[in-house]
């Protein structure tokens, strides 16, 4: 890297008698990896640290090492204040630019600011006449809030700073590197895998500390999840909207006046008898107000997005000082809230992702004197495993779980949504391998995570795909243009429409697939596959599996498209074995056949169809 950061020549501390705070081993490693990464790249990077792991200290150390100007941004004033305080602990001075904190200072080398205040005064904050020069490092706390929209607050700040310094280093820190509606916020992970796509703002995750390891090493309190002994809310029929968020009106239909609420709060109060601080996460404002009514009035408070700033500050400070025991909130204290004495978390709302679930539970995992653990009471039936990694795509259905699928090409252990029967993966929804493989000669900044001098690119193996009719390349099932020859791929609706116009074509809206092990006219064993439509019309195809060559052809022509868990090892050697394990196979949505002489020959099978024609399973 140029001269932005150095682990050798530290700027002198302002006060000689102040000793810098001691960093934990993983914090030191995070700092070292950031320094090493930015020595070779200007592409934005991410560090993932669980809630309560001390992100503020990592930020302070990086700001201390920086040789140029540093701007540290957060979205709430509590975080601005926390991060600033950790830097002051080094005996150094720094400015604060936050209207919420009543300060607008930006003349020092290091500035801690709220993004809302900074974006309104970009000219003042990035004063080109500053004796320290332009900003060389921008640090964003809770960086999963950085939007892909170029006119969003964070992006406007970034672009403004880049105009003054094209080599600006941008580092994000978060406990949950996942954004609803987008997926992972970075493209590549330093462990050698692809998590997001090429549109991600952050190029790479350069360090990640697992939550389970933090708990095991004693850096976080032990979470104790207890199954509620009373009636719970039933959110099973509530699904997130197109934005990835649950709609308030649907949540209210479940919780408004629910007969379960009094019993739930009574149990929370009972279990909280020996606890110090209780946070209750409600589904809606109306729900939160009802919950507050069942709590001891003198010991409880409510904070929502509409709570005025001064009142919110007063209530939070009273809770931190333990003047009140119960703090009810609605989607406002999931990040940037630090109250180590919290030792009971009651979840009365569904969470849209494992990331949000971890953020909520993380409010109670910080260490405090005399604190042994944190009790987790979930009354919403959230399906998430606290330690499970984020899959990176919306959960397709309620019975899906994370499954590990090894890539047949590069061996990478992919994490996809799927279904299993015991140890057997019976289905998964992965499309392309997430593994990174060496790509000598590549120079894309988004391929900078790897050994020095070795660029990396995503493995080309696709678990599900559609084939280009021109060059035969396998493309993503949603691709509009072939990645191999760049020809426009034929739309599935166009294929169906053209086939329906032909007199010698038969189009089946598949409602069933039947497999039979039999023999052909010469007495040779064959697998017969018959597709049925809703009217009883059929099309069939036959396969031989007697020789190794025939089995390879069957795997390429049939199994590769039909298996519900592509890539999972399964190599049937007989037609009967295929029939016996038909549960491994899926039927296509449409089959197109053409007449050849007196017979019909299958020419096209459409899977993962999402066009305008009705599928058989959606008949109303």
Per-residue pLDDT of 475-529, as tens digits, reads 999 899 999 899 999 899 999 999 999 989 999 999 999 999 998 888 899 999 9
Average pLDDT over residues 406-432: 92
- The pLDDT score that the predictor gives to residue 452 is 43
- Asked if the model's pLDDT at residue 453 lies above 70, the reply is no
pLDDT tops 70 at residue 1? no
For position 197, what pLDDT does the model report? 85
Going by CATH, does the domain composed of 219-378 fall within 3.40.50.300?
A: yes
Q: Which residue has the higher pLDDT, 3 or 82?
A: 82
Checking if the pLDDT of 91 tops 70, the result is: yes
Alpha carbon distance 80, 397 (integer Å): 39
Predicted confidence (pLDDT) at residue 591 exceeds the cutoff of 90: yes
What is the model's pLDDT at position 67?
87
* Residues 25-209, CATH architecture: 3-Layer(aba) Sandwich (3.40)
Q: What percent of the chain is modeled with pLDDT above 90?
A: 63
Q: What integer is the mean pLDDT of 185-205?
A: 91
In tens, the pLDDT along 333-357 reads 776 678 899 999 999 999 888 888 8
Beta strands in 265-412 (DSSP E): 277-281, 300-303, 326-329, 342-347, 373-378, 401-406
Lowest-pLDDT choice from 106-115, 435-444, 606-615: 435-444
**Edge-to-edge strand order for the sheet containing 326-329?**
222-226, 373-378, 342-347, 277-281, 326-329, 300-303
Q: How far is CA 564 from CA 105, 552, 567, 576, 582, in A?
A: 59, 18, 9, 19, 10
DSSP string, 75-122: SSHHHHHHHHHHHHTTT---EEEEGGGTEE---SSEEEEEHHHHHHTH
DSSP 488: B
Burial (CB count within 10 angstroms: exposed 0-12, middle 13-18, buried 19+), residue 535? exposed
Sign of the torsion formed by the C-alpha atoms of 33, 38, 41 and 42: positive
Check: CB of residue 491 under 8 Å from CB of residue 498: no
Residue 441 reports pLDDT greater than 70: no
Confidence of residue 450 (pLDDT cuts 50, 70, 90): very low
Determine the Cα–Cα distance for residues 357 and 450; give it in Å rounded to an integer: 31
265, 291 Cβ separation under 8 angstroms? yes
Helix, strand, or coil (residue 300): strand
Q: Of 49-63, 219-233, 450-464, 517-531, give the lowest mean pLDDT range.
A: 450-464
């Amino acid at each position: 890297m140029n001269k932005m950061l150095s682990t050798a020549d530290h700027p002198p501390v302002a006060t000689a008698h102040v000793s810098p705070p001691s960093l934990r081993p993983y914090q030191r490693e995070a700092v070292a990896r950031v320094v090493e990464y930015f020595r070779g790249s200007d592409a934005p990077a991410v560090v993932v640290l669980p809630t309560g792991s001390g992100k503020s200290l990592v930020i302070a150390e990086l700001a201390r090492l920086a040789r140029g100007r540093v701007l540290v941004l957060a979205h709430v004033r509590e975080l601005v204040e926390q991060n600033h305080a950790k830097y002051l602990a080094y005996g150094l001075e720094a400015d604060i630019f936050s209207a919420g904190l009543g300060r607008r200072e930006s003349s020092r080398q290091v500035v801690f600011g709220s993004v809302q205040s900074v974006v309104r005064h970009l000219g003042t904050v990035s004063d080109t006449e500053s004796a320290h020069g332009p900003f060389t490092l921008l640090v964003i706390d809770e960086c999963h809030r950085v939007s892909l929209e170029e006119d969003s607050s964070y992006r406007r700040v970034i672009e403004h700073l880049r105009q003054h310094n094209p080599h600006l280093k941008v580092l994000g820190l978060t406990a949950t590197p996942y954004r609803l509606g987008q997926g992972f916020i970075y493209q590549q992970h330093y462990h050698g895998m692809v998590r997001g796509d090429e549109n991600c703002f952050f190029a790479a995750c350069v360090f990640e500390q697992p939550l389970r390891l933090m708990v095991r090493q004693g850096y976080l309190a032990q979470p104790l999840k207890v199954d509620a002994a009373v009636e719970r809310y039933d959110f099973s029929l509530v699904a997130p909207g197109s934005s990835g968020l649950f709609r308030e009106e649907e949540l209210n239909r479940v919780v408004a006046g629910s007969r379960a609420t009094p019993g739930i709060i009574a149990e929370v109060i009972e279990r909280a008898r020996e606890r110090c601080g209780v946070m209750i996460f409600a589904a809606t404002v109306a729900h939160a107000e009802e919950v507050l009514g069942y709590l001891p009035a003198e010991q409880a408070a409510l904070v929502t997005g509409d709570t005025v700033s001064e009142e919110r500050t007063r209530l939070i400070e009273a809770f931190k000082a333990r003047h009140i025991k119960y703090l009810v909130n609605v989607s406002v204290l999931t990040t940037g809230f630090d109250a180590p004495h919290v030792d009971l978390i009651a979840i009365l709302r569904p969470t849209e992702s494992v990331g949000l679930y971890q953020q909520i539970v993380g409010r109670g995992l910080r260490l405090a004197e005399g604190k042994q653990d944190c009790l987790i009471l979930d009354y919403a039936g959230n399906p998430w495993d606290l330690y499970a990694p984020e899959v990176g795509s919306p959960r397709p259905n309620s019975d899906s779980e994370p499954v590990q699928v090894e890539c047949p090409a590069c061996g990478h252990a992919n994490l996809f949504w799927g279904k299993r029967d015991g140890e057997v993966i019976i289905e998964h929804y992965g499309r392309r391998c997430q593994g990174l493989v060496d790509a000598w000669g590549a120079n894309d900044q988004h391929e900078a995570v790897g050994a020095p001098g070795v660029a990396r690119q995503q493995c080309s193996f696709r678990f599900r795909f559609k084939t280009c009719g021109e060059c035969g390349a396998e493309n993503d099932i949603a691709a509009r243009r072939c990645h191999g020859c760049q020809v426009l791929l034929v739309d599935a609706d166009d294929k169906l429409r053209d086939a329906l116009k032909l007199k010698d074509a038969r189009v089946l809206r598949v409602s069933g697939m039947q497999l039979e092990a039999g023999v052909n006219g010469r007495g040779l064993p064959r697998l017969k596959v018959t597709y049925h439509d809703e009217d009883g019309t059929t099309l069939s195809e036959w396969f031989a599996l007697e020789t190794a060559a025939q089995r390879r052809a069957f795997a390429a022509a049939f199994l590769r498209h039909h298996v519900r868990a592509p890539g999972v090892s399964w190599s049937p050697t007989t037609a009967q074995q295929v029939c016996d394990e038909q549960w491994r196979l899926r039927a296509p949505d449409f089959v197109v056949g053409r007449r050849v002489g007196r017979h019909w020959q299958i020419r096209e099978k459409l899977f993962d169809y999402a066009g305008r024609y009705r599928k058989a399973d959606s008949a109303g």
